[in-house]
A and B are shown apart, each in its own frame.
Chain A
Amino acid sequence: MTAEPLLSVRDLSVEFRTGGRSLRAVEEVSFDLFPGEVLGLVGESGSGKSVTAMSLLRLLAEPPARITAGTAHLSGTGDLLKLSPRALRRVRGKEIAVIFQDPMTSLNPVFTVGNQIAEAIGLHRRRREGRPGYLEAEGLLELVEIPHAAVRARQYPHEYSGGMRQRAMIAMSLANDPKVIIADEPTTALDVTVQAHVLEVLRAAQERTGAGMILITHDLGVIAEMADRVAVMYAGRIVEIGSVRDIFRSPRHPYTAGLLQSLPRIDGTSDRLESIPGQLPGLADMPPGCRFHPRCALGAGRRRCQEEKPTLFPSGEAGRAVACHFQDEMPIDPAMRAAS
């Protein structure tokens, strides 16, 4: 990728203070987001994927959260982590829009959907440009394939189905032509047939605006369908980043490989699944060294894995980086399907 990144995150660390202890939820996270691309952030519970994204817009309650290190440079704006509250408000919803998992918590139940979309447009508009009205809201609702937009714009959120609400949220996120869209588990609460439609709308919206999108999900299927590049997170750190094709074809971190092999698949043929032994570590009891080592077959019994934290190291294809001391020992093209 030769273009300048839209967003450049470097060495981001976030802690949570509870009960006199500091728990590191995100540690030394670095990535770039380029214009027009979809970057997937994928991981299991506690991997820090949402905390990473929310800390970029300072949407975490501080305290208990505290950004202890790092920079997040947004092109044309500067370091997001150093912005004044006033400057931040100008960025939120304008330069960077967020789509959350549960639209009911972001939509106001006592205003019509059209009213709220118009308000979102008006927030970032100069007074002399006039007040945006239902007409503009209707246009956006049509864009996200909400039928009878003129009627729907005058309805309240509870009159919408779950999939329609999420599409309305996508419409609202597009209201100000953002440079970056952060979608945090946008389809996790939806049924699979509804998810297919919402993802399609989301993809069309992103392509139309040319925005860069950070797509946060635990679902590797959604990543494979949507993302151009993917960052795999485990226990607060990025363990592998690269193009979605490279990573799915030939994962080079033992965690990524294990995760792909343990996926149930509708085209699978075996009953049993390969599984990663052990449990996800809790924030309070992170293993020293590589955080994955207690569950890792490659690192089993190796001192270096127990003591030294592996950092992201460029590996193989352009833009690929892996945080594993022994990544060279990973098979080059393992059978990715659990079934064979």
Chain B
Amino acid sequence: MTAGSTEPAGGTASNEMLRVENLTKHFPLRSGVLGRRTGSIRAVDGVSFSLGRGETLAIVGESGSGKSTIARLIIGLHRPTSGRVLFRSEDITGYDDARMRRIWRDMQFVFQDPHASLDPRMRAGQIVAEALAIRREGTVAWRAEEAVRLLALVGLPAEHATRYPHEFSGGQRQRLGIARALAVRPKLLLLDEPVSALDVSMQAQLINLLHDLQAELNLSYVFIAHDLAVVRHIAHRVAVMYLGRIVEIGPRQEIFEQPSHPYTQALLSAVPIPDPEGREKRSRIVLRGEPPSPSDPPSGCPFRTRCFKVAPICSTEPPLRDVGGGVMSACHLAGPAAANSAGAAEAKGTVDA
């Protein structure tokens, strides 16, 4: 991380793949027969991060946190209200489709539900070959061959090339979606909840596949997920979002082992542990308030309505600041990560009592 920088660490300038600066997206809220603008949903509110080559940044958050909107802003499916997106140092903010087409060769999107994004009337091989045709490369025969190679790369045997999407299981369809995304030889994959719809035994296969592909092709991933356990196995760095903002960002180990933000602490503590031993003794931070609406976020710290550590200072907005260990945290009360875990244990006690 660059010393003195206000932005979270990522790649150094030379191998930086993606940089997002102060990204903001407000969706208008309209009502009445005239569709007058009566307010706005602050889906993404001043988000900054960067991503290096071959690196995985996980963006985690619950519903309404704005994590998927970020991915859509990066790929150009939405236009940001303000802020900038830089892809390999090129400012692509507000590019139209014509100019984005060149960018999309290097930046691909994998959706949660591949079924919705795969043409049901095309065979698997054709789906991948079509993506190759976009690059206007090779002959028809070469593309068909290349499609089979890409299918093999994601673990689908050659005979599957003639199958239609509905003949695949959920896990295989997700592999097909990845093969198609890889066809244009991208450098960055935006993965929006890629394993959330899959069964556990399929999830593990896909996570391993993503590791293999990253190692082989030096890919960068933006991995959007709500499942912290999955993130633990895939991310290098983690950004935790709450109501459109990053509340904490840092290296995986720090985030999981010494979370500094009370929301991260509550989020981690809420995950059910697949181990019945000692479950009675386990203390858990249970948040009781209802999550606020992004159309009407609380003033000051957005988490203060549900926070178990809330203090008078929380009525002012906490800046994202360096708390040590490469971690940036948006909490007035967050100390250096190490000193903080004792405080968290104390807080658990009071909440559970």
Residues on A close to B: CB < 8 A?
44-45, 145, 161, 163-164, 191-197, 199-200, 218-225, 227, 244-245, 248-249, 258-260, 262-268, 270-277, 279-280, 282, 336
Contacts and interface: CB of A to CB of B under 8 A. Distances in A.
Interface residues of B, number: 44
B271 A275 contact: no
A161 B290 contact: yes
A224 B275 CA distance: 5
Given A221-B273, A225-B279, A279-B172, A197 B204 contact: no
Contacts of B274: 220-221, 223-224, 248, 260, 263, 265
Interface string B259-284: 00000001111111111110100001
A229 to B, nearest CB: 11
Contacts, number: 141
Contacts of A197: 286-288
B92 interface: no
Contacts of B335: none
Contacts of B200: 44, 218, 220, 259, 262-263
Interface in B216-270: 226-230, 232-234, 256, 266-270
User: In this complex, which of B171, B172, B205 has the most chain A Cβ atoms within 10 angstroms of its Cβ?
Assistant: B205
Contacts of B78: none
Contact of A274 (B204, B227, B276): B204
26 contacts: A45-B199, A163-B290, A191-B291, A192-B228, A192-B267, A193-B62, A195-B272, A200-B286, A221-B274, A224-B276, A224-B279, A225-B273, A248-B275, A249-B277, A260-B274, A263-B204, A265-B229, A266-B271, A267-B273, A271-B234, A272-B207, A272-B211, A273-B208, A276-B204, A276-B205, A279-B202
A268 B233 contact: yes
Given A45-B199, A218-B200, A224-B279, A266 B268 contact: yes
Nearest to A47: B199
Contacts of A244: 276
B201 A44 contact: yes
Interface of B: 62-63, 169-172, 199-205, 207-208, 211, 226-230, 232-234, 256, 266-277, 279, 284, 286-288, 290-291
Contacts of B228: 192, 266
A271 B270 contact: no
Given A196-B270, A224-B276, A264 B229 contact: yes
Shortest beta-carbon contacts, A-B, top 3: A221-B272, A275-B204, A262-B204
A145 B288 contact: yes
A220 B276 CA distance: 10
A270 B233 contact: yes
A158 to B, nearest CB: 13
B227 A225 contact: no
With a 10 A CB-CB cut-off, give which of B170, B232, B267 has the most chain A CB atoms: B232
Contact of A263 (B229, B270, B277): B229
Contacts of A192: 62, 226, 228, 267, 270-271
Nearest to B287: A193
Contacts of B172: 279
Nearest to B170: A45
A267 B208 CA distance: 18
